[in-house]
Amino acid sequence: MFLHTSKLQFEAKPDRPDALYARKLQELIGGTWGEMTVTMQYLFQGWNCRMEGKYKDLIMDVATEEIGHVEMLSTMVARLLEGAPADTTASMVDKDPVVAAIIGGMDPQQAIVSGGGPTLADSNGVPWNGRYIVASGNLMADFRANVAAEAQGRLQTARLYNMTDDQGVRDMLRFNLARDTAHQNMWLAAIEELQEDGLEGPISPSALFDEEHSEHAGTIWHTSDGTEGPKGRWASGPTPDGMHEFSYLMEPVALGDKASAPKPDPLLYATSPANLGLIEKAIRKLT
Amino acid sequence: MFLHTSKLQFEAKPDRPDALYARKLQELIGGTWGEMTVTMQYLFQGWNCRMEGKYKDLIMDVATEEIGHVEMLSTMVARLLEGAPADTTASMVDKDPVVAAIIGGMDPQQAIVSGGGPTLADSNGVPWNGRYIVASGNLMADFRANVAAEAQGRLQTARLYNMTDDQGVRDMLRFNLARDTAHQNMWLAAIEELQEDGLEGPISPSALFDEEHSEHAGTIWHTSDGTEGPKGRWASGPTPDGMHEFSYLMEPVALGDKASAPKPDPLLYATSPANLGLIEKAIRKLT
Amino acid sequence: MFLHTSKLQFEAKPDRPDALYARKLQELIGGTWGEMTVTMQYLFQGWNCRMEGKYKDLIMDVATEEIGHVEMLSTMVARLLEGAPADTTASMVDKDPVVAAIIGGMDPQQAIVSGGGPTLADSNGVPWNGRYIVASGNLMADFRANVAAEAQGRLQTARLYNMTDDQGVRDMLRFNLARDTAHQNMWLAAIEELQEDGLEGPISPSALFDEEHSEHAGTIWHTSDGTEGPKGRWASGPTPDGMHEFSYLMEPVALGDKASAPKPDPLLYATSPANLGLIEKAIRKLT
Amino acid sequence: MFLHTSKLQFEAKPDRPDALYARKLQELIGGTWGEMTVTMQYLFQGWNCRMEGKYKDLIMDVATEEIGHVEMLSTMVARLLEGAPADTTASMVDKDPVVAAIIGGMDPQQAIVSGGGPTLADSNGVPWNGRYIVASGNLMADFRANVAAEAQGRLQTARLYNMTDDQGVRDMLRFNLARDTAHQNMWLAAIEELQEDGLEGPISPSALFDEEHSEHAGTIWHTSDGTEGPKGRWASGPTPDGMHEFSYLMEPVALGDKASAPKPDPLLYATSPANLGLIEKAIRKLT
Amino acid sequence: MFLHTSKLQFEAKPDRPDALYARKLQELIGGTWGEMTVTMQYLFQGWNCRMEGKYKDLIMDVATEEIGHVEMLSTMVARLLEGAPADTTASMVDKDPVVAAIIGGMDPQQAIVSGGGPTLADSNGVPWNGRYIVASGNLMADFRANVAAEAQGRLQTARLYNMTDDQGVRDMLRFNLARDTAHQNMWLAAIEELQEDGLEGPISPSALFDEEHSEHAGTIWHTSDGTEGPKGRWASGPTPDGMHEFSYLMEPVALGDKASAPKPDPLLYATSPANLGLIEKAIRKLT
Amino acid sequence: MFLHTSKLQFEAKPDRPDALYARKLQELIGGTWGEMTVTMQYLFQGWNCRMEGKYKDLIMDVATEEIGHVEMLSTMVARLLEGAPADTTASMVDKDPVVAAIIGGMDPQQAIVSGGGPTLADSNGVPWNGRYIVASGNLMADFRANVAAEAQGRLQTARLYNMTDDQGVRDMLRFNLARDTAHQNMWLAAIEELQEDGLEGPISPSALFDEEHSEHAGTIWHTSDGTEGPKGRWASGPTPDGMHEFSYLMEPVALGDKASAPKPDPLLYATSPANLGLIEKAIRKLT
């Protein structure tokens, strides 16, 4: 069960409205890598965690914080939209090209649908959806996804930081950047801890290593003609899991047979030689 | 530009058809973490890579291999569907409960839409879409996403491996498992190399560390009542980036003000005290 | 079965083209609360209605009218797009900032995909989809949804009305506004009638009142720290359904146990203490 | 900012697992009218509310409660999935038709993707998305949508209640049913209060009544041939808003002109008589 | 403007209910190639047609008919669902494997959401969406899409015809098959007529033939290793447009330069050698 | 299995960057009719082809070429974005209306998400998805869809050609136009060949002609009031399939009965007269 305080985790006050920027900030609310994604990803990971204790408690701590990030960003977007043009478009466009550009560059749904507030969508107006999250039950695989989410999230926040010089907005983003740094560090530490606790190895899942075709577990297939792929650390030497040796397969050969499809079921009407003459017969019958 | 050989990278021959399993395998084709995702993710990362050389060449090698994985799985699905019931449903359902279950559990679109072949969708029939991929230009952030994708991919493959005892299917999955091991190792090695080359640090992006509110870059906020979060390696000591100390904020206090929205624009008709009496007036005017 | 006359239900002639506004009007065609939604919602409600007579006949009357609203708006959009810039972008952008703004603010698909006509999407270009409608068979629940749809629809139309001073566009919107008023009134009247006819009560569905935990059917849980929630009419006194008393639960306590997940299935590879030592063994086995 | 307690708002313990039912329950998590929808709808309405005080505080109280409902349902789904078949499909299907049916009827992603837990999707596996919510800033329009959401939600819960006789599941659903009753009552009371406070009238938005074509604000157009539409309360007498008289337009006539599109832009290549002869010329030129 | 008669264009009465088949029929309602698609595609093509006269009138005739097809199929689905299991799942599943299979194979939303009626989705429950239609203004391009839609539609109808032996269902499908035959013929005839009228040539659009690189307008690039591609009618001789000669490019060579991306913008944080040493500096600065 | 060369099939070098145009070009990458669609459509058609030989080999040749088109366009988009504004928005907007317009008209995700590269989405930012493709196994139906795809593709390319005068961009589009001409010709030839080989007739599928209600296989229903529909070649004379005569049904009459829904299941709570009095009873019971 959850409780709420109406105070924001960190202040979200722009110095002045900026409708174009309000559109861009949507990416951090409802984008693939926005705050909604980490909120729901961590909540579902917590609820799906099969082990009581430090990992689950950590996940729930961070998940609960993230709901508050959606709140901060939503509040910021509403404030950035204050006074955005909601008036006669055409005459304004003709009179003032800067207003014209703002009208053209705004997210129309922030006005028409939300009445000057945020939507649950990204900077192109595409709605956030539940396929953006993963909660697999395997903590190593999920923490990998969490580091990735915080990394992409900080990257997008950094890009957005450069797109404004509003000191109020920047102040909030300075907090967001720091939280994304903290969370990247935190998931990286948790990945280490999972291994130190002997719960997981570097490769997910820690299973079926004796079933997989291990001769293919360390090779990189050279299927493109760039010549420098084999110059990296991944081209030779031990693999990070300590179980294989890397090698670069310079002239890869297809190991399988022809990619043919099975013979067709007549009731599904695939085109096939078995139909030869059928059409003629059909026409004769009808005419 | 691409070239194609009609031979499969690895054999994809089931011992016998299995229509229920053909539906499940869709997850590896068109699921969020399926082969289509890594194919497109790596292709776009390669095309978006801003540095010629070993990283780009590696990405293109792996990307090109992955197209062939979609091919292997698509071929396997078609073969698993050979002879699947395409006949009168109702009478078969009444006569044979096993056939009934198969009809009920099949992906109906594999028959009705594809005529006995795969679709570009996941195991629930939801189409694959372009928001599943990321190609940010920042290799560290993207390689984090790549490790995550290969980890989730191997995890799902392992689960599917247990759901069949068809030796032909398992043989192909043994190859897939090994490739997912290889690719996890490879992206982990590439992450190390990016750091050794001095191109990226552990936190993405390697920027704005002096702008972010660094007092918030190492804390974990205790917002849920589980008591064991502070027992992990993330609760104290140096952070993996070497730049901060972890600490667990046991009694977090909201730092911001009230989450209020700005005053409404009358043209957008938000409910507000400013409207008091307007309705009465409107009615009087009309009646 | 349907018939069509090529005359519009109401005139849809703008005084002059306005490509920016043509994009905004898409919200009324293919937005969540646009005309497409009410068209399909009412059609499916009519077809799914389990009672011949006045309710079904009313629904079909309104549904059929609504197809004509999509027609009016689609015609209007095409006319607003007449003469929109379809020429060399870059040079025009450099020369004339107003044209630049128009090019930037247009819906590119109205030109590239529809050749100067409407799309079946909203003002951000997101396609209309079938999850926007509901036709549950329960008329009370559905009429509630219909009032909501007409209310949001009239609200969005009113906002769009303020965004133009084109008298031709406004004339059509004056008709749309009136129809949304009529339909809100109508569904409100139909909700009354359902109750007068004894077919439904205010709460949907009129069932399971004796099964539900009635001690929780009148309380409001105070889970946020705002202090004024208990000052409303919903904090005490009889509930609108006449079956309960409202009360405001000021210090709510979780009634359930811990939100734990069941023990993991080893075949699904959740992280769990049962795996302790497995990884080490795996590595030893392989190396 | 939010806080979390790991106790559930209400107990969520099934008597025994039931994998088929676990799929059905997804509708209440990630369906159009599920708990995720009301959670996000209320949160965004609260953040977008332009008036401090009782309405906003109420919305935030209910919003915060709803997050806990997603938690209860997610926990229930994980527990219903305990011990679900994760083993070799084909042989089990052949041996035991009941197991076969369960395998066929399960949500494959609950196993393959979530490892025995819930997804953020509906009972057909379609992901929840942000277009399901509305937060327009106009409280009357939004509360209408809220009543509708709670009505559809209670209706679906009631249907699901009948689909199980597991006493643990039913106990939780009895709580959910009661909360949906409470919330329907609450939003209905809030709709009354908005009018008593003079903030809103029955028709949304309370504006532009003197601009709309009022002769069309009370008529119902008889466009389908059912004869009983005019027998309802909506066919005559005063409208609920007190501003108009209902009437049933028995022989409606289109008021507009022909629905023609404007003349084509040659750069967009619409088919038009202006092209006559062009093709011939093109061929002559090339050959 | 549209009118409606409550009679169906053709009878839609199954001999007996069949809940599994009701799910499959959804493909013809809300699938990519279902009746909803042709309805909306033709309506938007008609509204977007830039030439009054026979083509536009034909399109509107067919479009209006198609709405009635959605009606027939929706009615059929509701009737096929009569008496479908809406009762306690688990116990029924245990007792009767056939009922178990039916419960497993049903579309759960047809019961939970629609109360025994159709949804606006396909046979996997994925909602219909507006990107399935095209109305480009170019009649040749659109009629090509229309033939394709009617062809895929008839193919899917034929497959579904084989999946039932219910004479009532089959009777309706016999009508649908015939309409799809009629409409394929009709669009093929309209394609001929467009050319006879000199309005369009075989290639869309009939323009820019003198601008395109005509040396690439007749070649087929041999990029896969199958050897029989050059044995078809497309390998030599005149092209159908009468403007080129076919040829098969047996050893195709890439004509462009390397696919490199431009140098990165430092504000977007792409990984690049320009960053060398930056990380070290950042760490030193902070520690 | 696939191989890759890092050279582009055709050069993709713009004379200068143009961020607005980079957004528009997305339509050709990830739009419904873009290069991603034909790539995946042809790949899946090839893998699903039930006949070894010339048709399958042709399909795979073209499919493999198309991957390279996605590559060309992605490279072009990255180059067009070079130097696009990534800096402080608000001040630039105020100073320079042209820059303002460009910022407003750019795809924000090309900057924020891709760091100056393409996304896998269309010109409105909606992600490409797997429902855009079809691979039915019936070659006639699929080749019809392929002609349509190439026709719409060339039409959109032609429109985009007019929207730029950058000679580098135009040079690439001249190649694309030519390839779309070649592929339209090729699929039209393949349609002829399928018939000459006796594998398919003009109507898909070539089956069930003796089952369908043939009296409805040549008629066009006059359901709209336009008078010129009967003036076309489709109004009389033999149908293209040679099996029927066209006729125009001037006064069409519905052939079916009333579109009624079956009686409701009490467990699904449809509104019905059977509920009369239930509500009153429920209230009495509780109060």
Are residues F165 and F238 located together in one domain of the fold? no
pLDDT tens-place string over residues E56-114: 999 999 999 999 999 999 999 999 999 888 877 667 777 788 888 888 899 999 999 99
Within chain F, which residues score under 70 in pLDDT?
89-90, 277-280, 282-284, 286-287
**How sure is the predictor about C85, in pLDDT bands with cuts at 50, 70 and 90?**
confident
Same domain, C105 and C225: no
Considering only CB atoms, F27 lies closest to which of C47, C88, C109, namely C109
With respect to residue D207, please indicate whether it lies within any of the assigned structural domains. no
Residues C158, D234: C-beta atoms closer than 8 Å:
no
Burial grade of F53 (CB within 10 A; 0-12, 13-18, 19 or more): middle
Residues of C in contact with E133 (CB under 8 A): 120
Q: Is residue B85 part of a domain?
A: yes
Residue D265 assigned ligand-binding role: no
Q: What's the rounded Cα separation, in Å, for the pair A121 and F126?
A: 11
CA-to-CA distance for D209 and A263, rounded, in angstroms? 67
E109 plus E176 within the same structural domain:
yes
Encoded tokens for D67: 């997050």
List of chain A residues whose C-beta atoms are within 8 Å of the C-beta of residue E267:
159, 162
| Residues of chain F numbered 78-117 and touching chain C (CB < 8 Å) | 97-98, 100-102, 104-106
The tens digit of pLDDT for each residue in E146-157 reads 999 999 999 999
pLDDT at position A97 is 82
B185 and B136 in a common domain: yes
pLDDT at D287: 64
User: Who contacts F187 (Cβ-Cβ below 8 Å, separation ≥6)?
Assistant: F143, F146, F147, F150
The verdict on F53 and F129 lying in the same domain is yes
Task: Write the CA distances from D6 to A36, B223, D71, D75, E267, integer angstroms.
Answer: 21, 11, 10, 11, 42
The verdict on residue B108 lying in a domain is yes
DSSP C98-163: HHHHHHHHS-HHHHHTTSSS--SB-TT-PBPBGGG----S-HHHHHHHHHHHHHHHHHHHHHHHHT
For D176-195, the pLDDT digits (tens) are: 999 999 999 999 999 999 99
Chains that touch E (3 or more CB pairs under 8 A): A, B, C, D, F
Tell me C224's DSSP state: B
For residues E225 and F258, the answer to whether their CB atoms sit within 8 Å is no
Instruction: Report the distance separating Cα B25 and Cα B80, nearest Å.
Output: 10
User: Position of tokens 């190396």?
Assistant: C287
C140 & C237 share domain: no
Interaxial angle between packed helices C19-30 and C97-105, expressed in degrees from 0 to 180 and rounded to the nearest 10: 10
E13 touches chain F (CB under 8 A): yes
Percent of chain B's residues with pLDDT above 70? 96
Q: What is the CA radius of gyration of chain F?
A: 27
Q: CA of C158 to nearest chain B CA: how many angstroms apart? A: 8
The CA-CA-CA angle for residues E126, E131, E134, to 5°, reads 135
CB pair distance less than 8 Å for F255 and E10? yes
Q: Return the pLDDT at A278.
A: 67
- Could C112 and F264 be called an inter-chain contact, meaning their C-beta atoms sit closer than 8 Å? no
Residue ranges in chain E modelled with pLDDT below 70: 89-90, 277-280, 282-287
User: Which residue blocks in chain A are alpha helix, DSSP H?
Assistant: 19-30, 35-47, 54-80, 89-95, 97-105, 108-112, 139-162, 167-196, 278-286
Cβ pair E25, C87 in contact under 8 A: no
- What pLDDT score does B104 carry? 85
> What residues have CB less than 8 Å from C188, skipping those under 6 apart?
C147, D202, D240
**Contacts for B253 with CB less than 8 Å, ≥ 6 apart:** none
Query: pLDDT at position F273, please?
Result: 87
Q: What is the pLDDT of residue B283?
A: 66
Percentage of chain B surpassing pLDDT 90?
86
ipTM: 0.95
Look at residues F5, F29, F9 and name the one whose alpha carbon lies nearest to residue F178. F9
User: What pLDDT, on a 0 to 100 scale, did the predictor assign at position E89?
Assistant: 65
Instruction: Answer whether A120 sits within 8 Å of D130, measured CB to CB.
Output: yes
Q: Closest residue of B to D51, CA-based? A: B272
Residue F175 touches chain E, beta carbons under 8 Å? yes
Q: How would you class D195 by CB atoms within 10 Å of its CB: exposed for 0-12, middle for 13-18, buried for 19 or more? A: middle
End-to-end Cα, chain B, rounded Å: 73
How many inter-chain contacts (C to F, CB under 8 Å) are there?
Answer: 181
Are the beta carbons of E223 and B1 separated by less than 8 Å? Answer: yes
pLDDT for D57: 97
Domain of residue D222: give its range. Answer: 215-252
CA distance C142 to chain E (A): 11
Contact list, F3 vs chain A (CB under 8 Å): 223-225
pLDDT greater at residue E84 or residue A237? A237
Residues F96 and F238 in one domain: no
Place of tokens 């995890």: B155
Q: Is residue F261 part of a domain?
A: no
Same domain, B132 and B244: no
Per the CB < 8 A criterion, the answer to whether C128 and C34 are in contact is yes
Number of neighbours of residue C258 by Cβ within 10 angstroms: 12
Annotated ligand binding at C114? The verdict is: no
pLDDT at D137: 97
* Cβ F144 vs Cβ F137: under 8 Å: no
Q: Does B227 touch chain D (CB under 8 A)?
A: no
Residue of chain C nearest B161, judged by CA positions: C267
Taking the CA of residue A95 and the nearest CA in chain E, the distance in Å comes to 31
**Contact present, D221 and D250 (Cβ < 8 Å):** no
The CATH number assigned to the domain holding D42 equals 1.20.1260.10
Task: With cut-offs at 50, 70 and 90, classify the pLDDT of residue A273.
Answer: confident
- Count how many domains chain A has: 2
| Residue range C151-173: mean pLDDT, rounded | 97
Residue range A214-232: mean pLDDT, rounded: 97
- For the cut 70, the answer to whether the pLDDT of residue C89 exceeds it is no
A253 CB-near residues (< 8 Å, 6+ apart): none
C122 & C237 share domain: no
Cα dihedral sign, A259-A265-A270-A274: positive
Token pair 């952008």 is found at C93
- Could you tell me which of D81, D142, D137, D79 has the C-alpha nearest to residue D107? D81
Answer yes or no: are the C-beta atoms of D54 and C228 closer than 8 Å.
Answer: yes
pLDDT on residue C283: 66
Chain Cα centroid distance, residue C269: 40
Q: Is residue D136 part of a domain?
A: yes
Q: Which chain F residues have a beta carbon less than 8 Å from that of C243?
A: 282-283, 286-287
Is residue E146 within 8 A of residue E204, CB to CB? The reply is: no
Separation CA D41–CA A117 (nearest Å): 13
What pLDDT was estimated at residue A287? 64
F273 domain-assigned: no
Percent of chain D with pLDDT over 90: 86
- Domain membership of residue A31 (yes or no) is yes
A216 labeled binding residue = no
CB pairs under 8 A between A and E: 12
CA-atom Rg of chain C in angstroms:
27
Given D169, D196, D223, the domain boundary residue is D196
The answer to whether E80 touches E22, Cβ cutoff 8 Å, is yes
For chain F, how many residues are written? 287
The DSSP annotation for chain E comes to: -EEE-SB-SS----SS--HHHHHHHHHHHHSTTSHHHHHHHHHHHHHT-SS-SHHHHHHHHHHHHHHHHHHHHHHHHHHHTTT---S-HHHHHHH-HHHHHHHHHS-HHHHHTTSSS--SB-TT-PBPBGGG----S-HHHHHHHHHHHHHHHHHHHHHHHHT---HHHHHHHHHHHHHHHHHHHHHHHHHHHHHHTTS--SSSSS--TTTS-GGGSSEEE--B--S-GGGSTTSSSB-TTSS-B-EEESS----S-B-PPPPPPGGGT---GGGTTHHHHHHHHH-
Reported residue count of chain A is 287
Contacts 24+ apart (CB under 8 A), E275-279: E275/B198, E275/B199, E275/B200, E275/B206, E276/B197, E276/B198, E276/B199, E277/B198, E278/B206, E278/B207, E279/B195, E279/B198, E279/B200, E279/B201, E279/B206
| Residue D94, marked binder | no
CB A155 within 8 A of CB F116: no
CA–CA distance, F103 with F87 (Å, rounded to integer): 10
> What percent of chain A has a predicted confidence (pLDDT) above 70?
96
Alpha helices in chain C, H assignment, sequence order: 19-30, 35-47, 54-80, 89-95, 97-105, 108-112, 139-162, 167-196, 278-286
Looking at the DSSP bridge assignments, the partners of residue F247 are F219
- Please write the tens of the pLDDT for every residue from B83-111: 888 877 667 777 788 888 888 899 999 99
User: DSSP letter at B3?
Assistant: E
Mean pLDDT by 10 residues, chain D (287 residues): 98 96 97 98 98 97 98 98 82 78 90 97 98 98 98 98 96 98 98 96 96 96 97 97 96 96 93 76 68
Closest by CA to A119, choosing from A26, A9, A208, is A26
Are A57 and A94 part of one and the same domain? yes
How far apart CA E226 and CA F58 sit, in angstroms, is 8
Question: Residues of F at the annotated binding site for Ca(2+)?
Answer: 57, 61, 224, 226
Closest CA to C46 of E113, D229, D247: D229
Selection from D4, F215, A284, A127 nearest residue C131 by Cα: A127
Residues D96 and D141 in one domain: yes
CB contact under 8 A, D117 and A48: yes
CB contact under 8 A, C179 and D216: yes
User: In sequence order, what are the beta bridge partners of F221?
Assistant: F249
* Mean pLDDT across chain E: 94
For chain D positions 242-281, those within 8 Å of chain E (CB to CB) are 252, 254, 259-264, 268-273, 275-280
CA distance A179 to A154: 9
- Burial class, D276, CB count within 10 angstroms (exposed 0-12 / middle 13-18 / buried 19+): exposed
C245 vs B97: CA distance, rounded Å = 51
User: Nearest CA to E241 among F159, D279, D276, F179?
Assistant: D279
> Which two three-digit tokens encode residue B228?
């064991």
Burial of E169 (C-beta count, 10 Å sphere; 0-12/13-18/19+): buried
Co-location of A113 and A248 in the same domain = no
Q: Is residue A93 part of a domain?
A: yes
Picking from F162, F196, F230, the residue at the C-terminal end of a domain is: F196
Phi, psi of E241 (to 5 degrees): -80, -5
Q: What is the structure's pLDDT at E93?
A: 74
